[in-house]
Amino acid sequence: MGTELERFAEPAAEARRSMVRTIMADGGLTDPAWRAALEDVPRHLFVPYYFVSRGYAPSDGVGKGAYERLWCEDPDPQRRARWLRGAYADGPLATRVRDGQLISSSSQPSLMARMLDELEVRDGDAVLEIGAGTGYNAALLAHRLGDELVTTIDVDPEITESARSHLAAAGYHPAVITGDGARGCPERAPFDRIIATCTLPSVPFDWLPQCRPGARILAPLSTGLIALRVHDDSRGRTAEGRFLRTAAYFVPLRGGSAAREGHTGGLPRRAIENELFRFLLTLTSGSLDPHEALSLWERERRPQRDRFGVTVSGHHQWAWLDDPEGPYAWPLGRPTRQA
């Protein structure tokens, strides 16, 4: 693969610079170390092929319906050029589709940059990534921290094998583990940072004992990004923090509990079509009746994501609005209750 893709090196380098300029123009990549990583790591090596929904351009993101495959060795030069443009467009790329269902993707570069900035890594930090994907995010981490401090894990052996191959082609060799990311990676612990690139239904309890005190966890939950700080207190090992304002849509975690979806029966269309309400509905699914969630949302004047947070302590975890000990709190991780 390396020899075949080397001929794209010069146009790819310019495409990377253009991608970085686009992200910076929107206020991203405030850390020069992450800017250097996105300028240096060749994303096209991690997506030698990908899928786009028919009728969509790669920059439109991952749509629904039948998929069209774009790849680096297409005999049609126009389609090869389209593949390369898509590899550096600021959009997500569907990299694995099974029985018409998306099971793995390469995330939107600007969102990846935002998450890496929010991870707040320091030199010497050991990082666990949940969800190996193409290996591209692990390569960015390895560029910043070094191979020995980066571990990426995925439940699907085809995904980990592919990620390992892509990483080697780009010159990176972090630890790539096949296993259930919900259980973490105890043999590589302790970690200073955990970052998930798949949507969680709740925060896996197994992660906390694998974190050093002061560790930071950044993970997609519902349709947002939760940033937790790990510490020890009278309750034992605890993680607590708020959501970022950023919306985030990822492929659900496989291997742990399935992601939950809120039920919308009987709710007004104006609420169902509101992105912030759908965030709250998914976050409270299984704990609050959808109409209770709607009442809360309207009573609190349609709160933004960063007013919500999560606390994980002992064998319990709960989401909350404004205050972890306040009147608006509900458990996470319960089985979904039918409306």
Q: Does residue 104 carry a catalytic annotation?
A: yes
Instruction: Name the CA dihedral angle for 71, 74, 76, 82, rounded to a multiple of 10 degrees.
Output: 10
* Residue 1 neighbours by CB distance under 10 Å: 13
- Which of 59, 104, 162, 222 is labelled catalytic? 104
Q: Which residues touch 71 (CB under 8 Å, ≥6 apart)? A: 48, 49, 50, 83
Are 264 and 208 within 8 A, CB to CB? no
What is the β-pairing status of strands 101-106 and 224-233? unpaired
Q: Which residues of 174-197 are buried (b: 16+ CB within 10 A; e: fewer)?
A: bbbbebbbbbbbeebbebbbbbbb
Q: How far is Cα 140 from Cα 19, in angstroms, rounded to an integer?
A: 15
Q: Is 177 helix (H, G, I), strand (E, B) or coil?
A: strand
Q: How far is Cα 267 from Cα 64, in angstroms, rounded to an integer?
A: 25
Phi and psi for 158 in degrees, rounded to 5? -65, -40
Q: Which residues touch 175 (CB under 8 Å, ≥6 apart)? A: 150, 151, 152, 188
The residues annotated with a catalytic role in the active site are: 104
